[in-house]
Structure 1
Amino acid sequence: MGYEKYNISEKPEWDKCFNMLLDDRYSEIEVNGPDAWFTKVNGRRERISNIRLGTLDRLYEGIEAGLIPFVHSPWPFKKDSYIYEGPLRYKVEEGTPHEREIRGRCHMVLPPAADYPQITIAKKSTALATLDTIAQNGSMSTEMLAFLRIAVEAELTIAVSGGTGAGKTTILEAIAKNFRYDSRIGVAEDAPELYLSQPNVTYLHSVPWAPGMNPNDVATLSWVVMQFQRMRTDRIIIGETRGAEFADFLVAANSGMDGSITTLHANTPVECLQKMTGFAMKATGSPARIVNGDIAGAVDIIIQLIYTADGKYRTSEICEVTNTLSNDETARITTNSLYKWDRTTDLFEKKGMVSDELRRKLRNKGINVEPLLEQPIGKTDSFHSNSVQLKSMLDTAGVVDRDKPEEAPTKRTI
């Protein structure tokens, strides 16, 4: 299959896996035991039949010598620690024009919670490094790309929604590359994963509870997000919102940290809003109408992502979150669908115009909204990015091109 070119790891089983991940077709490695190795190739799971270690001792030997050196975890690896995780990184042909870096996330559940170490490695896409390349690879139309660039320039607060493997972290990182370079940005995650190019970035991560751990040593993601209120950050990023931390995200976004962004695990914008409501109500005890008023006042747009059965990444919808709530007891938040992907034709359609409220918000940030109003509702567009059209729309809107850093970025050290 052509994936044993480089000497990366001193253990042959991990050398094979790391070479597989150099191939864009491969996105995951899973290990369920000494003889149970799997991969995900072109969106489908397959067994790696030619890796068989036979014993638990050989599995552990390979993990410690062949895998752990590439996992940048803040915690030491212990065989009986229940859990071990961290970012995985390695390079090939370093220092040459052909240099490649593989980045991903490694997660292990260890004895006594499992009979054998259960290892999951999920590779982060490096091909989709910017919003432009995401569009060029088919995930959105030129007008959708222009709208997102305008949204970032205007410091709109964004929620990225999608299922497992839909590309939420990838697009979040791509959006962040368009943040101002003189911004102070706070990044909150459960495990260090994001890498921003701006120089003034403060990275915090939670310290989750694990069996045998002193409860006083726990730092929840909610606690981490609250610290940014005292750290004078201009905007914050939460790698993924799963609970009470969303209430703290709302406080930050409604307290001057315009342009903040988070991701949620949801399959539709409606489900995304429902999760926001549930997280915030549980954390604060406030009724739905109060909570949804805070959400509608803080979150400007939702980007819905999907990973198709045939292995395509698509931005299935971009919708505006309006300030209008329903009159019933649910106080449902009203959305305005702006762009939508048609699964049948694989085309993107313009569904609506930005509201008067959002136009005012954009104009107050110095954005000329005319490029967003020129294309008629119902217009369909292919996913091929039109660089001439994009430049024209962004120039007219007054969006600054931030493809090149204004100063050399500070690399994250883990």
Structure 2
Amino acid sequence: MAFWNEEKMAANDPGLARSAVDDSLALRVRLHQRLLDVLNLSAMEQTPRDTLRMEIRKTVVGFIAEEKRLLTPAQLDHLVDELLDELLGLGPLEPLLKDETITDILINTHETVYVERRGRLERSDVRFEDTRHLLRILNKIVAAVGRRVDESQPMVDARLADGSRVNAIIPPLAVDGPLVSIRKFAKTPINMAKLIDYGSITGEMAAVLQGVVVGRRNVLISGGTGSGKTTMLNALSSFIDPLERIVTIEDSAELQLQQPHVGRLETRPANIEGKGEVTQRELVKNALRMRPDRIIVGEVRAGEAFDMLQAMNTGHDGSMTTVHANSPRDSLSRLEQMIGMAGLEISTRSIRGQIASAIHVVVQVERGEDGRRRVVSIQEIVGMEEDVISMQEIFRFRRRGRGPQGEVLGDYESTGVRPRFIEHLTARGLELPLEIFAPGRRSA
């Protein structure tokens, strides 16, 4: 909320600008408390937004007159909208959530909020009144999905009504104050056509991945934090036949599958007594009893990796999952470590054999220094050579350097390797032009 020209004030006196912002925040907090005193909170949810806005405006006009403030009509409208967001929505976060150019919101204590636009971080002028104000908004978020955050459970994963993912950590673990990360998702899911338009993948690579999904090959999507793993998983899932039954398993439900026959499962944390927790591993086991054609695990992190591989090896072909790793080879090592976390007495060779027979294709995604997200490698797992899982690269992104604006320069290229899954696809009536795999560079 800006009742003053803060840029001019900051140029003349930064301290004065900060004082003005603090004063406007204090005004809004006092108004918010007054509204809580006079409004019927139980009736607010059933009251049409326009009607409620008129009631709030009347109260605000009276309060402003009492305080002998002078506001323009535009400033008054802005104040009323902010108070409405505070009462019905998520307060200062509402404008950021409505801004479609923002992909991430990063709250570093009540005083500092950063946002990501077009792959680059920038500081926002949004602030919270104090830590209590931020915690009130945070509790509103987590309570909506039946979770809690307090000193006994200071870390939480949750989601907003639109599917955006929220992670929060509060004191005593967060030393200076609450830290909140919100990963927004587009209202319209990003499909493969959009990824081609963005230059994240070529048409030939997308055609091959479409064949892989339709031909029911198991896919592992690998990448670092914020690299676009979930976006790629959503895009690949669009190729699944709408007649198939899909069961999704996630820590915090965020997948945006478009098929009509989808069963969504979500983990549950322990209650205040430390009971009632339901893990991804338990959900994967239960999903096997639900007659799924395919199982999609949003991200494997622990022992559920073993159960996921078992599902892939026992008739649930075409299943997909993601993993945090920096390369296709690293992703297999990560799976190996996670299977070890299942507490089973299995030899390393046996674990690798399970991985080699369950996973057919690894898609590596990466977020470059320029903020753009790309598929940087597509590899096929072809079996075992002694104790080592054999892989062959089909497509890759080859970097050529950096441009004048800091953009990553490079080309997509086919390695010339003809994947072995071609025979499987052909047997299922799926034909891919062999010229797709001819060696050479391709533009996105």
For the Cα contact (< 8 Å) 1:244–1:282, is it kept in 2?
yes
Query: Whose relative contact order is higher, 1 or 2, with alpha carbons under 8 Å and at least 6 apart?
Result: 1
1:177 aligned residue (238, 243, 251):
238
Partner of 2:316: 257
1:57 aligned residue (123, 129, 132):
132
2:114 match: secondary structure: strand
Partner of 2:411: 347
Distance 1:285 1:271, change over 3 A: same
Distance in 2 (CA, whole Å) between partners of 1:58 and 1:16 is 10
* More moved, 192-201 vs 42-51: 42-51
1:253 match: secondary structure: helix
Kindly indicate whether residue 206 of structure 2 is the aligned counterpart of residue 142 of structure 1.
no
- Give, as a single letter, the amino acid of the residue that structure 1 aligns with 2:442: D
Unaligned 5+ residue runs, structure 2? 1-77, 401-408
Distance in 2 (CA, whole Å) between partners of 1:220 and 1:272 is 22
Kindly indicate whether residue 382 of structure 2 is the aligned counterpart of residue 310 of structure 1.
no
Question: What's the CA shift for 1:142?
Answer: 1.0
Partner of 1:40: 116
Distance 1:268 1:36, change over 3 A: same
1:29 match: secondary structure: strand
Distance 1:275 1:376, change over 3 A: closer
Partner of 1:336: 392
Partner of 2:356: 296
Distance 1:232 1:365, change over 3 A: same
1:235 aligned residue (267, 271, 294):
294
**Map of 1:384-399 to 2, 5 A cutoff?**
none
1:11 match: secondary structure: helix
Partner of 2:335: 276
- Give, as a single letter, the amino acid of the residue that structure 2 aligns with 1:11: E
**Map of 1:3-402 to 2, 5 A cutoff?**
7=81, 10-11=85-86, 17-53=93-129, 55-63=130-138, 68=141, 72-75=144-147, 81-90=153-162, 103-114=163-174, 116-125=177-186, 129-209=190-270, 212-214=272-274, 216-283=275-342, 284-323=344-383, 325-327=384-386, 331-344=387-400, 345-356=409-420, 358-369=421-432, 371=433, 373-375=434-436, 377-383=438-444
Partner of 2:8: none
Question: What's the CA shift for 1:127?
Answer: 6.4
Distance in 2 (CA, whole Å) between partners of 1:50 and 1:181 is 43
What are the Cα deviations for residues 67-112 of structure 1, in whole angstroms up to 9, with x where unaligned? Answer: 639x85133676864244322245xxxxxxxxxxxx4111222345
What are the Cα deviations for residues 315-374 of structure 1, in whole angstroms up to 9, with x where unaligned? Answer: 001111111x233xxx12111100001221422100133334x222112222124x1x12
1:160 match: secondary structure: strand
Question: What's the CA shift for 1:59?
Answer: 2.9
Aligned residues: 355
Distance in 1 (CA, whole Å) between partners of 2:326 and 2:279 is 25
For the Cα contact (< 8 Å) 1:80–1:110, is it kept in 2?
no
For the Cα contact (< 8 Å) 2:222–2:326, is it kept in 1?
yes
Distance in 2 (CA, whole Å) between partners of 1:348 and 1:227 is 41
How high is the sequence identity, in percent, across the aligned residues?
A: 28
- Give, as a single letter, the amino acid of the residue that structure 1 aligns with 2:180: I
For the Cα contact (< 8 Å) 2:141–2:158, is it kept in 1?
no
Question: What's the CA shift for 1:18?
Answer: 3.5
**TM-score, structure 2 as length reference:** 0.73
Distance in 2 (CA, whole Å) between partners of 1:35 and 1:376 is 53
Distance 1:201 1:46, change over 3 A: same
For the Cα contact (< 8 Å) 2:128–2:134, is it kept in 1?
no
Unaligned 5+ residue runs, structure 1? 91-102, 384-414
**TM-score, structure 1 as length reference:** 0.78
- Give, as a single letter, the amino acid of the residue that structure 2 aligns with 1:108: A
For the Cα contact (< 8 Å) 1:161–1:168, is it kept in 2?
yes
Distance 1:59 1:243, change over 3 A: closer
- Give, as a single letter, the amino acid of the residue that structure 2 aligns with 1:366: G
* More moved, 156-165 vs 360-369: 360-369
Structure whose residues are more often helix by fraction: 2
Distance 1:57 1:355, change over 3 A: closer
Distance in 1 (CA, whole Å) between partners of 2:431 and 2:264 is 34
What are the Cα deviations for residues 23-78 of structure 1, in whole angstroms up to 9, with x where unaligned? Answer: 4542221223221322223333333345252x3333334445xx639x85133676
Distance 1:149 1:261, change over 3 A: same
RMSD (Å) for aligned C-alpha atoms:
2.8
Distance in 2 (CA, whole Å) between partners of 1:279 and 1:240 is 12
